[in-house]
Amino acid sequence: MCCIFSVCGPSLDLEELKKAMLKSVSRGPDDARAIKAGDGLMGFQRLSIMGLTPAGMQPFELKGSYSVCNGEIYGFAKIKKELIKLGYQFASDSDCEVLLPMYQEYGVKMFAMLDAEFACVIYDEKNNKWIAARDPIGIRPLYYGYTKAHDIVFASEPKCLTDLTEGKIFPFPPGHYYEDGKFASYSDIARPDESLRDSELDTVCAKIRDLLIAGVEKRLVADAKVGFLLSGGLDSSLVCSIAARKSEHPIKTFAIGMREDAIDLKYAKQTAEYLKADHTEVIITRDDVINSLEHVIYLLGTYDITTIRASMGMYLLCKAIHENTDLRVILTGEVSDELFGYKYTDFAPSADAFQKEAEKRVRELHMYDVLRADRCISANSLEARVPFGDLDFVHYVMSIDPEMKLNRYNKGKYLLRHAFEGLDYLPPEILWREKAAFSDAVGHSMVDHLKAYAEEQYDAQEFEEKRRKYEHAMPFTKESLLYREIFEKYYPGQSHMIADFWMPNKEWEGCNVNDPSARVLSNYGNSGK
């Protein structure tokens, strides 16, 4: 995971940029560099993953143009060979070095050609203009704002922009590029492609299996060591199982749970033993959670209840990995819920409603689960890779007839489970285990402690008075007010960076609830056991 910066104009100096870069040193602890590019500035903080030598340090330069990129360009070796045939030379083994030659050959059309999770900025010296782009899901973060002189400024995290810009800070829209002062879409990954639609269950499941395996395999390629977050749930367990089959040595897996009532630990251990993994458990307490709360909200840049709850365990787990191992890359199970459905999507009144909800969630992932994975992992100088966010995989799953994705089998994510049924990837009791929300499965007590702590902060009158100060995403519980007040301490007036609270669709019968946890839904069943 790295951090990129660009000031697209003369309104700031290098010292101001370097000061802002200090806020995100955890994203790139190995090296840092800031330069002048045209009449603007570029900065980069490096976490070495591919091309570990100094030659892989950014910004890259080519014929007076410059680029910075936080990303992984899959299949870059093939791209590199094609560019060498066109006369380009390369100084490093970094995958991101291909971007400037690609831009010079193809212009902004290049972004639709990439199989990548990335955020990048390019200074085009010949045309004296700035280009920026972000991957279609928003796996890699990018934010922007404007200086007093109206120069646009880009950075990987909003905290890096608070001292550089005036007014609002915005998330860069996924699947878009910026050119000549305008944003343009090059990919809407959530839109179904009817040409990919298969009608036979076995055909659909075979493609799901093949595409997920390919998505995991390409994310195992790194010059740095790789580890895996393992909750014992379906998604992370599948990622680990696929990786274990492709690895010569036992994979390193990590699970976390509360001391008193961890749910996931026993399932994670069972899965790790089945896969013969080198497994580590991390045990946390109420004090660990409460003492980390404000710092985690600062790192996240969100007030969303679901994101913050789920981040507590993830952040503390990644902190333990950083402090006790030499791993650099972490694979996770995010994105699966939005593609295949979650507990609340069982209440979808129709296939069309299910599809519309899935499209909305995929387009907003960069503000919720994907944001959580990025910040919790990068804050601990690690890089997140998300196999379920593989572009080919998402493109195909979003194109599956939603009638097939509805829970007609009394088991959520049936297609994904059936795709690996009978193939010994996982024990049946893990493959068919009921979905449990991560923040709950770390231990129900964790969320209970957070809610109890929030209750202690306000009486009823104070709660009503304080929550009504916020017109956008008005807090509706004492917990949500506590999170919002901490958020405003570090990001005053920036609540629009997050669309709203991640909540079940209140328009659906059975989903008009006042807590985002699936625990409050009538179909939660045995998920928490």
Catalytic residue positions, numbered: 2
What SS3 class is residue 73? Answer: strand
User: Angle at CA 178, nearest 5°, toward 173 and 184?
Assistant: 65
Q: What would the 3-class secondary structure string for 336-402 be?
A: HHHHHCCHHHHHCCCHHHHHHHHHHHHHHHHHCHHHHHHHHHHCCCCEEECHHHCHHHHHHHCCCCH
Q: What would the 3-class secondary structure string for 446-499 be?
A: HHHHHHHHHHCCCCHHHHHHHHCCCCCCCCCCHHHHHHHHHHHHHCCCCHHHCC
* Sheet-wide strand order for 60-62: 60-62, 65-73, 116-124, 129-134, 176-179, 182-185
The Cα 61–Cα 49 span in angstroms is 20
Dihedral sign, CA of 216, 221, 222, 224?
Answer: positive
Q: Are 257 and 263 in contact (CB under 8 A)?
A: yes
Bridge partners (DSSP) listed for residue 129: 124
What SS3 class is residue 299? Answer: helix
Distances (CA, A) of 301 to 66, 239, 333: 29, 28, 22
* Sheet-wide strand order for 329-331: 278-284, 252-258, 226-229, 329-331, 383-385
Token pair in block for residue 470 = 């916020």
Long-range Cβ contacts of 241-246 (<8 Å, 24+ apart): 241/271, 241/275, 241/420, 241/425, 241/426, 242/212, 242/213, 242/216, 242/217, 242/387, 242/425, 243/216, 243/331, 244/275, 244/276, 244/277, 245/425, 246/216, 246/217, 246/220
The Cα 487–Cα 504 span in angstroms is 22
